[in-house]
Amino acid sequence: MGVTLAVAGSVAFAGKAIIVKLAYRYGVDAVTLIMYRMLFALPLFLLLVWWAGRGKAPLAGRDWLAVIGLGFSGYYLSSFLDFAGLQYISASLERLILYLNPTLVLALGALMFKRPVTGRQLLALVTSYAGCLVVFGHEVNLQGQDVVLGAVLVFASAVSYALYLVFSQQVVKRLGALRLTGLATSVACLFCIAQFLLVRPLSAALVAPEVIALSVLNATLCTFAPVLMLMMAIERVGAGVAAQVGMVGPISTILMGIVILGEPFTAWTVAGTLLVLCGIWLLTRRR
């Protein structure tokens, strides 16, 4: 059951990029699209906050400050940068860049907390980034310099989420993983809605019905459900196994991109994906 939940959660997360790319075909912009995603996800995460917080003490002032900061970095900023980057790059490249997240957590730990880095970890970093560069270089040749902007935005998204992971460790111990996830994501939902109200007229909310339907699907199947499935998977099989099973995420994104979006399937994509997966496997496998 734990492995099944990890696989289902990874595939559901991977489907987010496909849904976003489909929504862009209807002329919607990133600010409006992420507002609708978070608007529909907000009630679900508020329900999670209530359920995870039953019988527990109210949050202290420092906990609220931590939740707001983590929600801004981990779910608002990272999501917005990711949605913006998907306007310029393929879903496959986006998923490979985001899958570099463990390497960013490792690098941040070494830079900020002076944690030692082993030779195996360095090999994992070199292998993973070589794979991303292979796919990135191929897309630049096919689509031009817009790919550079898209890749930078998505990489910044991965850095923002890595910061969330690094700084959330102590807060998780105090609040619990589900409660913190619900609170931080609810804060991010409010940030996304506020951003839309500040920078777009209300008339911008008038979008195609297909965008509304895709946003509901994104909020439920690709945002809320994967959070629960991956948390339950980690409880059953541990974070290490869940991370390795999560390697199906990039593969499923590539397959869905080919079948649903008509993205090209090339030897460069295969080679780059294999390198990234090998690097992450080296980084997450147990001795």
Tens of pLDDT, residue by residue over 187-206, are: 999 999 999 999 999 999 99
How far is it, in rounded angstroms, from Cα 159 to Cα 148?
Answer: 16
Whole-number Å distance between alpha carbons of 96 and 136: 10
Q: Percentage of the chain surpassing pLDDT 90?
A: 38
Q: pLDDT value at position 29? A: 94
User: How confident is the model over 238-267, as pLDDT tens digits?
Assistant: 666 666 666 677 778 888 888 888 887 788
State how many domains the chain has.
1
Q: Are 261 and 91 in contact (CB under 8 A)?
A: yes
pLDDT of residue 3: 80
For 109, 148, 218, 264, the CA distances from 155, given in Å and listed in that order, are: 18, 10, 21, 22
Residue 113: CB atoms within 10 A of its CB come to 8
Phi-psi region of 262 (alpha: psi -120 to 50; beta: other; left: phi over 0): left
Question: Is residue 284 a contact partner of residue 240, using CB atoms and an 8 Å limit?
Answer: yes
Range ranked top by mean pLDDT from 114-123, 138-147, 150-159, 240-249: 150-159
**Helix/strand number for the chain, H first, E second:** 15, 0
Name the residue range of residue 40's domain: 2-284
